[in-house]
Structure formats: C-alpha cells, structure tokens
Amino acid sequence: MDNLLLMLVPLFSSKLLLVLFFGTLFGLILGVLPGLGPTTGGALILPFTMTLDPLSAIVLLTSIYCAGTYGGAITAVLINTPGTPAAAATCLDGYPLAQKGEAGRALGMATVSSTVGGIFSVIILVFFAPILAQLAYEFGQPEYFALAIFGLTMLASIGEGSPIKNLIAGAFGILISTVGKDFMTSIDRFTFGINELTEGIGFIPVVVGLFAMSEMLTQSTLINQVFNRIALKAIKLPSKDDYKKTWKTILRSSGIGSFIGVLPAEGGTVASLIGYSEAKRFSKNPEEFGKGSIEGIAGAEAANNAATGGAMVPTLALGIPGSATTAVILTGLIIHGVRPGPDLFREQPDFLYGIFGAMLIANILFFVFGFFGAKIFARITLVPNKILWPMIFAVSVCGTYSLNQSIIDVWIMLFFGVLGFFMRRYGFSVVPVIIGLILGELVEGTLRQSLVIFDGNWLMFFTRPIALTFFILSLIALAFPLIRSRKFKKKQ
C-alpha cells in the first residue's frame, strides 16, 4: 500500500509534472511524424537527459514512449501512413473511416482505446513487475543466460519479416557488443587498432544511425511522394453505441497487448497486429474490417498502448528489454547509474513507483492533449521532409557527439544509417540489432561466468529447472513462426 502511494509522487512535484508535460507533448509530436516515433525520439533525447536527475530522465523517456505510441494513430487515420510501426494496424480501418468523413470519430475511438489500453497496462505493470522481480531472486548466472537466450529467440517472431533474418540481425547486434576490450581478460576484439573502439561501440550512435539516419535515407527515396491528407474538423468522443460495440474488444486487446508487451523483445507492433486480428475474429461484423470498422481501430490501438506498460515489466524487473523503445529506456537507466533488476525493487521503490505513477499520468495527459490538440498535431504532418530531416540530422549529430564528445561516434552513426537503410530494404528488421546489442553483454557475460561455475561442463545448464524452462521456451519461440506460417499456408 505504501508503495502504491509512492505512485502519487509525480503529482506533487512541479518539476516532474513539467517533465511529464513536455515529454507527452514531445512524444505526441514524434508519434505524429512518420519515420520518427518513440524509439528514435527517445534515442535523440537521451543525451539531454544527462542534465536531469535519474527519475526525471526516465519519466521523460517513458512519457515519450506512452504518448509517441498513441501519436502514431493520428497520422494513421488522417494520411494512411502509420506515424509509428505500432500504428500500422490502425491504418487498416482508421483511414477508410476517415475517408467516409468520420475522421473525428476514428480518432476519438483511437484516443479512448489507447488511453484505456495504456492505463490497463500500467496496472499490470504495478502488480506484475514486483512478482517477476521476486522470482528473479532465484536467478543465477545460468538462469540469466537462458533468459537472455529466450529474449533473443523471441526476435524470430517479431513483426512480419523473415524469422531467420531477424535472428541474423539479433546475432549481428550481439556481435557489435563484443567490439572493444573483453570485460574478463581486457583483450582487444575487433578494434582494428582504433583507440576509440577499445571502449566498444556505444548504444546511442547505433540506435540513432539505425533508426533516424536510415529513415532519413528512406525519406530521400520518397521525396516525390504525395500524401492525401484528410481534413479533421474536431475529434469526437465515441458514442454510446460505439462503446457498446467496442468495450469487449478494448478490454481483450488491452489484455493481449499487456501480455505481448511482457514477452521479451516483442512490442507494440506485434501487439497491435494480434489485437486487430483477434478483434476481427471475435467481431459480429468481421466483413466490416478493412472498410472502416470502429472495432478494428479499438482493437489495434488498445493493444499497442497496452504493450507499453507490459514491455516495462521485463525491462525493470529483469533488465531484459520488452521492446525497442524500452531498450532505449534501459540504456537511460544504465547511463544514470540505475541497474534494473530485483534489487531495484527492494532498494529504490520510490524511484520505481514514481515511474509507474508517471506512466499513469502520461496516459491521461495524452488523452487530454489528443482530444483537444489532435487538429494541431495533425498539422505537424504538413512540415515538409526537406525542412524536417536536415533539422533532425543536426540534432542527431550533436546528440551523438555529446555523450562521449567523440567524432568517431558520429561516423559510426552515419555508417549504421547506411547499413540500416540496406537492412530494411532487404527485409532485415533493425530492431533485433538493438535488442542484440543490449543483451549481448548479458549473454556473453552470463555464459562465460556460468561455464566457470560449471567447470566448463555445458550440460550443467540443463540440470537447472528455471534455465531448462527458458531453453524449452526458446525452442517454442523458434518453432512458433514455422507453425504459424504452415497454418497460414494451410488456410490459403
């Protein structure tokens, strides 16, 4: 109970309220702009958080995460382009409904279902994260190794792309984490005589490169693209009839989104696709889906926002990112000297529950901003790319340089920008690289320490029940995409 009261801390701190206000606002703007989004935005803002205390910094990042996820819906409904990948499923029904002259109704439903999904997931986070953290006390090095492997195998089923390509990208991410001095022996690896590489490759240059710079290159191929933007008069709250039609869908999708979010490496994109398809499966009018179904919007939006709280569960309780954006938040925690895991729950409950409270408030704030300001946010999409992207470049370069004051970091960022562009072009998702990079140190560290404990006997991993469970789950995670594609082929 005392801990729950700590959730009110942000409400009584003018500084935190201000951070929340700007974080939500900034998150919405990032979400609205196609190609940006909470992951890139979080990475860009990370250097700025160095001037803040740890709680304010993480509150800023989490509010960007919550609001950015919702912001993608505005662009999805009005210009049929998801502002964030998680809003892709919202386009399917949001845009057709807007074309029928009901953009306000579509956005109203997106706003309400996002808020309900987000709040639902924070409740899950508050109750589930401490339980998971409690369980993590039983974990030793072998269990953490098995857990990290489970997190990596989950990469196979993220998004619509090829599972093997995702795994290659994940392995590449881990490989990047091996650059620099080996932490156990101080032997240089892949440094090629470059002094700056002995410290390893930083997270920020890779994230900003893979997300922001590769997107800049993608935008360079689309400069002649014209968006058909639908005018928005005013956002409308859903009618009684709409609520009657969708409340079950919203609750179901909130549950689905929270569950998917908890799974390591999965995130809002997978959650919204499953939320949408389940909404269609349970609907009395499945034929309306794809033609402007209000249930379709509710299903997708409740799920993707519910994934935000869900994804924070493994991030905070175990130090395993639940999504790409939580990987950025995890980096924020580490940069500020906060080590996520079970000890965090015991030693700094005020910090943790402050974050939970802030996420709750952020969900309410983006409802208010979305409801009253959707029209203004929609206008942001009018900023031409030829103005916007050079500006993003300037911020990206300075932000990347600022962390270590290293020009090499900027070059690494540009290299990963070009690499990320070609990865996306040939169907390799960039998200697994980020997750691999984050988990790389954990995977290698726990593997090597476990082998020291086991005296080099690999089979000992399978004698530990928790580790064995994670290995079995890993096998299931690897087999799942195969089973899914077979089922899909059979259906066809």
Partner 1 sequence: MKNVQKSKRANKSLPFFFKDEFKVSFVIIFVSVVLLITTFTFDIVPPILNRGIQPATFPKALLILIIAMTLIVYYLATKNPWKIEKKLPRSFFLTVFSFILFIIVSKTLDFFLAISALSIFVAYYWGEKRLFYLLLVGIIFPIIVFVFFETILGLRFPPGIITNIYYS
Taking CB under 8 A as the criterion, the residue among 390, 485, 486, 487 binding partner 1 is 390
List, as one string, the DSSP characters of 303-314: HHHHHHHHHHHH
Closer residue to partner 1 (CB): 158 or 360? 158
Closer residue to partner 1 (CB): 385 or 469? 385
Taking CB under 8 A as the criterion, the residue among 196, 411, 478, 480 binding partner 1 is 411
Q: Is 59 in the site for partner 1 (CB under 8 A)?
A: no
Nearest approach, Cβ of residue 149 and partner 1 (Å): 12
Taking CB under 8 A as the criterion, the residue among 23, 35, 47, 85 binding partner 1 is 47
Contact 382, 33 (CB under 8 A): no
Q: Is 301 in the site for partner 1 (CB under 8 A)?
A: no
Q: Is 471 in the site for partner 1 (CB under 8 A)?
A: no
Q: In Å, how far from its chain's centre is CA 336? A: 20
Tell me which residue of 423, 417, 446, 432 sits closest to 204, measured CA to CA.
417
Q: In Å, how far from its chain's centre is CA 368? A: 22
String of contacts with partner 1 for each residue 87-126, x by CB under 8 A? ----------------------------------------
Taking CB under 8 A as the criterion, the residue among 48, 127, 137, 462 binding partner 1 is 48
The beta-strand segments (E) located in 202-315 are none
For the stretch 450-457, contacts whose Cβ atoms lie closer than 8 Å and that sit 24 or more positions apart, written own/partner, are 450/140, 450/141, 450/142, 450/145, 453/140, 453/141, 453/142, 454/142
Closer residue to partner 1 (CB): 253 or 331? 331
The residues pairing with 331 across neighbouring beta strands, listed in sequence order, are none
Taking CB under 8 A as the criterion, the residue among 14, 225, 405, 492 binding partner 1 is 405
**Which of these ranges, 3-11, 117-125, 187-195, 196-204, lies near partner 1 under the rule CB under 8 A?**
187-195
CA distances from residue 23 to 63, 72, 82, 357 in whole angstroms, order as listed: 5, 15, 20, 14
Contact 58, 329 (CB under 8 A): yes
Nearest approach, Cβ of residue 215 and partner 1 (Å): 11
Taking CB under 8 A as the criterion, the residue among 426, 488, 490, 491 binding partner 1 is 426
Q: Is 389 in the site for partner 1 (CB under 8 A)?
A: yes
**Beta carbons within 8 Å of 483's beta carbon, 6+ residues apart:** none
Q: Is 387 in the site for partner 1 (CB under 8 A)?
A: yes
Taking the C-alpha atoms of residue 447 and residue 143, their distance in angstroms, rounded to an integer, is 10
Q: Is 484 in the site for partner 1 (CB under 8 A)?
A: no
User: Please, where are the H alpha helices in 381-406?
Assistant: 385-404
Taking CB under 8 A as the criterion, the residue among 188, 278, 288, 350 binding partner 1 is 188
Q: Is 4 in the site for partner 1 (CB under 8 A)?
A: no
Q: Is 483 in the site for partner 1 (CB under 8 A)?
A: no
**Beta carbons within 8 Å of 213's beta carbon, 6+ residues apart:** 393, 396, 413, 414, 416, 417, 418, 420, 421
Taking CB under 8 A as the criterion, the residue among 11, 18, 131, 164 binding partner 1 is 164
Taking the C-alpha atoms of residue 46 and residue 62, their distance in angstroms, rounded to an integer, is 12
Place of tokens 């942000």: 10
Nearest approach, Cβ of residue 425 and partner 1 (Å): 6
Nearest approach, Cβ of residue 302 and partner 1 (Å): 32
The helix or strand, by DSSP H or E, that contains position 180, with its residue range, turns out to be: strand 180-181
Q: In Å, how far from its chain's centre is CA 9? A: 25
* Token pair recorded at residue 409: 């970091």
Q: Is 15 in the site for partner 1 (CB under 8 A)?
A: no
Q: Which DSSP letter does residue 47 get?
A: G
Closer residue to partner 1 (CB): 14 or 185? 185
SS3 384: coil
Taking the C-alpha atoms of residue 414 and residue 208, their distance in angstroms, rounded to an integer, is 9
Nearest approach, Cβ of residue 96 and partner 1 (Å): 20
Taking CB under 8 A as the criterion, the residue among 167, 232, 262, 324 binding partner 1 is 167
Q: Is 217 in the site for partner 1 (CB under 8 A)?
A: yes
Q: Is 427 in the site for partner 1 (CB under 8 A)?
A: yes
For the chain, the straight-line distance linking the first and the last C-alpha, in angstroms and rounded, comes to 52
Q: Is 182 in the site for partner 1 (CB under 8 A)?
A: yes
Q: Is 178 in the site for partner 1 (CB under 8 A)?
A: yes
Contact 303, 111 (CB under 8 A): no
Taking CB under 8 A as the criterion, the residue among 21, 99, 132, 189 binding partner 1 is 189
Q: Is 171 in the site for partner 1 (CB under 8 A)?
A: yes
Q: Is 234 in the site for partner 1 (CB under 8 A)?
A: no
Taking the C-alpha atoms of residue 395 and residue 406, their distance in angstroms, rounded to an integer, is 15
Q: Is 461 in the site for partner 1 (CB under 8 A)?
A: no
Q: Is 438 in the site for partner 1 (CB under 8 A)?
A: no
Could you tell me if residue 236 is left (phi over 0), alpha (psi between -120 and 50 degrees) or otherwise beta?
Answer: beta
Taking CB under 8 A as the criterion, the residue among 135, 251, 334, 414 binding partner 1 is 414
Taking CB under 8 A as the criterion, the residue among 98, 447, 467, 473 binding partner 1 is 447
List residues near partner 1 by CB under 8 A: 47-48, 50-51, 162, 164-165, 167-168, 171-172, 174-175, 178, 182, 184-185, 187-190, 192, 213, 216-217, 220-221, 223, 384-387, 389-391, 393-395, 397-398, 401-402, 405, 407, 410-411, 414, 417-418, 425-427, 444, 447-449, 451-452, 456
